[in-house]
Chains A and B, each alone.
Chain A
Amino acid sequence: GIQVEQSPPDLILQEGANSTLRCNFSDSVNNLQWFHQNPWGQLINLFYIPSGTKQNGRLSATTVATERYSLLYISSSQTTDSGVYFCAAKSNFGNEKLTFGTGTRLTIIP
């Protein structure tokens, strides 16, 4: 099945800094999503982005499907951005599941 790898595994930043999280996937995809899991365990849907670029406030994401990677950008970080960011992807082929990466743990320090 599809492999989804995220980097870096951990990121510690000062409030106000910008960050880039990366997601590599091993197959062509027709579904790719970014999620934020907050400290209370809730999984928040950030972007549905199998290709192209989207922006939502301080967050934006770009997926380059032909090169099999996606990037999540967070600008002007706030402490509420802390948590784990997951990328999840589904291969174009077969009836495969939405596979999650192992996540990037982001800690924003005041």
Chain B
Amino acid sequence: DSGVTQTPKHLITATGQRVTLRCSPRSGDLSVYWYQQSLDQGLQFLIQYYNGEERAKGNILERFSAQQFPDLHSELNLSSLELGDSALYFCASSGGQGFAYNSPLHFGNGTRLTVT
């Protein structure tokens, strides 16, 4: 158990809809990262938050947004969903400010999103 909790585990929704994925980091970790894993793109970094502030941005679509709350949990919002958004969405956390600096990432079990 990595200590990172993601909910829900599975989500099935229709095109055009909006969903929210939730992540609780490991106790004490201040950084939260979101990754998307699709069959054709592999594991792609979306966005990182550190202590409530956006720290780094990857290939995140404009239809997607995220935030980190004062209690350090994070939510990833996906809107105007398309079939191609079907993927496994992972959240990870680490103790450091950035991706590195002696701070490994620990991943949750992911949320499997299916858009029909």
A residues whose Cβ falls under 8 Å from a Cβ of B = 29-31, 33, 35, 41-45, 48, 50, 86, 88, 90, 92, 95-100, 102-103
Contacts and interface: CB of A to CB of B under 8 A. Distances in A.
Given A98-B100, A100-B43, 9 more contacts: A33-B104, A33-B105, A35-B107, A41-B112, A43-B110, A86-B43, A92-B100, A98-B45, A98-B105
A38 to B, nearest CB: 10
B8 to A, nearest CB: 14
Contacts of B43: 86, 88, 100
Contact residues of A: prevailing secondary structure: strand
A31 B104 contact: yes
A100 B110 contact: no
B56 interface: yes
